[in-house]
Amino acid sequence: MSIRLGAIIAGLGIVGVLFFWSLLPGAINYAPPEKPAYYAFKEKPVAPEGGFSFEGPFGKWDYAQLQRGYQVYKEVCAACHSLKFVAFRNLSELGYSEAEVQAEAANWMVPGIDPVTGEATRVPGRPTDQFPSPYENDVQAAAANNNALPPDLSLMTKARKDGTNYVYSLISGYGEPDPEKLAAATEKGFEIPTGLYFNPYFANVNIAMAPPISIDGQVDYADGTEATIDQMSADVAAFLTWTAEPSLVKRKETGWPVLGFLLIATMLAFLSYKQIWAGLKPKKN
């Protein structure tokens, strides 16, 4: 009995402290949270028209799109962003031949040493090298970009909610804020600091990255696809989905036979279970 009496007293004590010192003051001063002014502009990521080929349980890579996306990365993003967890050799998974990968790797200058003097320098890449950062270190990268460090893009689509659509929306979603909303938000203290750009898909709608893809035809696609802003944004989002998870399609392809096998096995296990218990079944009266 004493333990229960003690418990009741302790329980009422805990609840009393919680109620009188935390809950009650909180309830008296109850104030619904005030969203920061920029919330008025926030948009959820949207998918490009038609979505992406690799989505859904039966999704497959669209290799032509991935190759186009790689071209956008190479010609646009790579000026500032590294891709450090991806190696040139991985490009063979996009449908490039071994010779093409070799040639592609050699186009990139990766950190290395001068074979004669041993000094740190940049040497042509080999298939086994990772994609290099355009900067020597983070300090240099931040200094060259108005103190905003361009993040590595290898895992970008997994590091953001709804990542593929986020990348697509962010790149194609630059623009001017709605004047009415802007007037209302400015009253609440909203501003677009100098050097930042308005983008409703970014966390606080003010992004340090200048619109990377600003005009149609900025990239001259090797396969002749018309390079609209929308097209380029979708292509690079697809490419970055592949860099974030190269095993995506293989994973889903492996999943189906495994699930099918387990379904049959579980059915058999169920029949076996029922069979074993059949002898015990009570007679319903």
Considering only residues 9 through 48, tell me which ones interact with other proteins, judged by CB under 8 A: 10-12, 14-15, 17-19, 21-23, 25-27, 30-33
In angstroms, what is the minimal distance from the CB of 285 to other proteins? 6
Q: Which long-range contacts (CB under 8 A, 24 or more apart) does 61-66 make?
A: 61/242, 61/248, 61/249, 62/238, 63/94, 63/95, 64/223, 64/225, 65/234, 65/235, 65/238, 65/239, 66/94, 66/95, 66/235, 66/238, 66/239, 66/242
Specify the length of the chain in residues: 285
CB of 217 to other proteins, least distance (A): 33
Q: How far is the CB of 53 from other proteins (least distance, A)?
A: 16
Q: Say if residues 189 and 204 touch (Cβ distance below 8 Å).
A: no
The correct pick among 50, 179, 193, 281 for binding other proteins (CB under 8 A) is 281
- Give the DSSP per-residue string, 152-193: P-TTTTTSSTTHHHHHHHHHH---PPPHHHHHHHHHTT----
CB of 248 to other proteins, least distance (A): 9
Residues 157-196 as x/- pattern, contact with other proteins by CB under 8 A: -xxxx-x---------------------------------
Residues 73, 104, 68, 51, Cα dihedral to 10°: -70
Task: Report if residue 118 touches other proteins, rule: CB under 8 A.
Answer: no
Distance of alpha carbon 89 from alpha carbon 101, whole angstroms: 6
For the window 197-216, what string marks contact with other proteins as x by the rule CB under 8 A?
------x-------------
Q: Which one of residues 36, 127, 134, 211 is an interface residue with other proteins (CB under 8 A)?
A: 127
Which one among 67, 154, 164, 233 touches other proteins, defined by CB under 8 A?
Answer: 154
Applying CB under 8 A, among 50, 57, 179, 224 the residue interacting with other proteins is: 57
Binding residues with other proteins: total (CB under 8 A): 73
| CA-wise closest residue to 94 among 48, 137, 62 | 62
3 binds other proteins (CB under 8 A): yes
Judged by CB under 8 A, the chain residues 250 through 279 that form the site for other proteins are: 251-252, 254-255, 258-259, 261-266, 268-273, 275-279
Q: Report in angstroms how near the CB of residue 14 gets to other proteins at its nearest.
A: 5
CA dist 73 to 101, 234, 236, Å?
16, 12, 6
Minimal distance in Å, beta carbon 181 to other proteins? Answer: 22
| Min CB(245)–other proteins separation in Å | 8
Environment class of 125 (CB within 10 Å of its CB; exposed 0-12, middle 13-18, buried 19+): buried
